[in-house]
Structure 1
């Protein structure tokens, strides 16, 4: 190879320069430099301002030939090239050369773009919460192979080998704000997928979800399995319990596997549907099922226990379930949960 390079350089000065540029970037890539170092080296080689921008994060690096961050206002790019990874354009590199471009500028930018893509794949982008939905979907999809999933996680900035927990979210609040609150210190990424927001993180604090957010938290298994668990947990959320961890559902998670037609045909679930038009009855039954005690339910509802007892007596007749019996209370709880799952 070296002998060929010598012969080629003897034929054309441009070829000699191009070979030297290629060798320069090969050396940088072997040294595993980061993006700022890559920009500094490029600016020094080109003897003009060099820039790198990543589309997914909005990160921009502009460096002067002296190796310092360029302080002057950006000049129009004299030459630019896309940064591509796995056939997707993830950024741009450019030179801000006064006057006409140098004949070797295109070669320089071509190698800079290749090196920048290599750095992004190795180290991932700078920390930011919002992420490319396509990358997030690749991480959580059950159809992704492990190599593609690992590559997507690296591009999102997650270190190899760390468990990633997935959260399914429904909220009017911005996803980046929610992600920053529930994981203030660790790596976190978020993206909307259809009608559900997705948060990926190495650690989640359920107590930090703000009011108005419903969230299902998957276990820290594989991201695809954690996503399925998170979606299931989200179905169990409600006004009384807006954040649900899949790990806390236990056997209740099995209810999510029951076909909806089967649930609708169940006598207890059908009975719940008959009282669903009465908010007062539903609130009373929900509170009683949650507390398991008439007096505690009365305290929560701010009613006299005799009033709650009369309500429950009427509800029990409609449901044809003895609510004061342990078995009857269990039936009511299961039926109420199964009925709620019908709406999701």
Structure 2
């Protein structure tokens, strides 16, 4: 190799520099360096700040030429390059050189990007959205040791300083597809646990859940508390409201704590249960409870308001509740909600 460098440098002095850059990174890879060491070596070689960012974890490494972590806000990158692994862009590398790029900056970044991809493949977390269910269960388990929980989060690719949102999902769609939809371009993991799908994400857009998916989204900072909240919110979902955030439930969340036996024994809940065999009556009651208006319920059901009025009259007799009174409407709403919670 040295002989080849000498022969080529006689033809083009810049070729000598490029080949030496290649040899430099080949040596680093043989030494099996990690990402911080790779950034330090690159900053020393380029004599300016070098940076590495991983999209999956949001982790950013910036190192000054003296080998110390770069302080202060990042300067505009003079040169950047994508880090690509298995045809997927997993990160970015850059140099922060004052003034124009140096003659070998492109070669340095090209080799740095290749080396960063190799390091990530060797040491980094799984790149797929689907995760080991055992690790996910450890993260959301209420009885887990906090050190073990933190280690599981690291193994899943979540940085220690990033928040983790939790969603409980029931869906015919693959969990990995749902995860990438609700958390695009950021760390997200999914796994089935018992009868429910779990999604862990650094950010989670509840509006991006696709049609056909029922999901409850937790609000707490601790993953185990957020999981409990997400499971509770999932119980409140239905056809009309397939995605529920726990923070939006407010006092309604208290209904989930009522023992199922006590709920079934309640006369209003039992009356709702008897309507289960008649979808038209149940849908009419649901629409009226949701809107509190006969005409709005008729619009939602695509029926004439007189037809809805007749159904509500019959429902009032069946339930023994005056649906025209605020107290009666509140009773019907609570009974309908409690009946649905019994199914979960």
Shorter-normalised TM-score: what interval?
0.5 to 0.7
Cα distance in structure 2, aligned partners of 1:36 and 1:140: 33
Cα distance in structure 2, aligned partners of 1:322 and 1:276: 20
Alpha-carbon offset, residue 128 of structure 1: 2.3
Q: What is the match of residue 254 of structure 1?
A: 254
Cα distance in structure 2, aligned partners of 1:290 and 1:256: 19
Confirm whether residue 214 of structure 1 aligns to residue 214 of structure 2: yes
Q: What is the match of residue 148 of structure 2?
A: 148
Q: What is the match of residue 263 of structure 1?
A: 263
Asked whether the 8 Å contact 2:220–2:229 carries over to 1, the reply is no
Confirm whether residue 233 of structure 1 aligns to residue 197 of structure 2: no
Q: What is the match of residue 332 of structure 2?
A: 332
Cα distance in structure 2, aligned partners of 1:36 and 1:188: 27
SS across alignment from 2:215? strand
Q: What is the match of residue 296 of structure 2?
A: 296
Cα distance in structure 2, aligned partners of 1:173 and 1:248: 25
Listed one character per residue, the Cα deviations across residues 181-201 of structure 1 (whole Å, up to 9, x for unaligned) are 110021100011122110000
Q: What is the match of residue 193 of structure 1?
A: 193
SS across alignment from 1:168? strand
Confirm whether residue 175 of structure 1 aligns to residue 175 of structure 2: yes
Cα distance in structure 2, aligned partners of 1:330 and 1:298: 19
Alpha-carbon offset, residue 162 of structure 1: 1.7
Q: What is the match of residue 49 of structure 1?
A: none
> How many residue pairs end up in the alignment?
237
Cα distance in structure 1, aligned partners of 2:180 and 2:304: 43
Q: Normalised by the size of structure 1, how large is the TM-score? A: 0.65
Asked whether the 8 Å contact 1:284–1:312 carries over to 2, the reply is yes
Alpha-carbon offset, residue 241 of structure 1: 0.7
Cα distance in structure 1, aligned partners of 2:126 and 2:277: 51
Name segments (4+ residues, structure 1) moved above 3 Å: 34-37
Asked whether the 8 Å contact 1:163–1:220 carries over to 2, the reply is no
Asked whether the 8 Å contact 1:127–1:187 carries over to 2, the reply is no
Q: What is the match of residue 96 of structure 1?
A: none
Asked whether the 8 Å contact 2:219–2:247 carries over to 1, the reply is yes
Structure 1 residues 35 and 170: CA distance shift in structure 2, 3 A: farther
Q: Normalised by the size of structure 2, how large is the TM-score? A: 0.65
Asked whether the 8 Å contact 1:263–1:269 carries over to 2, the reply is yes
Cα distance in structure 2, aligned partners of 1:333 and 1:179: 33
Cα distance in structure 2, aligned partners of 1:271 and 1:172: 31
Cα distance in structure 2, aligned partners of 1:257 and 1:163: 27
Q: What is the match of residue 164 of structure 1?
A: 164
Cα distance in structure 1, aligned partners of 2:201 and 2:173: 18
SS across alignment from 1:276? helix
Asked whether the 8 Å contact 1:188–1:201 carries over to 2, the reply is yes
SS across alignment from 1:179? helix
Q: What is the match of residue 132 of structure 1?
A: 132
What is the Cα-based RMSD across aligned positions, in Å? 2.5
**Residues 30-179 of structure 1 mapped to structure 2, 5 A cutoff:** 33-34=34-35, 120=123, 124-179=124-179
Cα distance in structure 2, aligned partners of 1:260 and 1:302: 34
SS across alignment from 2:316? helix
Alpha-carbon offset, residue 166 of structure 1: 0.5
Q: What is the match of residue 205 of structure 2?
A: 205
Cα distance in structure 2, aligned partners of 1:270 and 1:35: 63
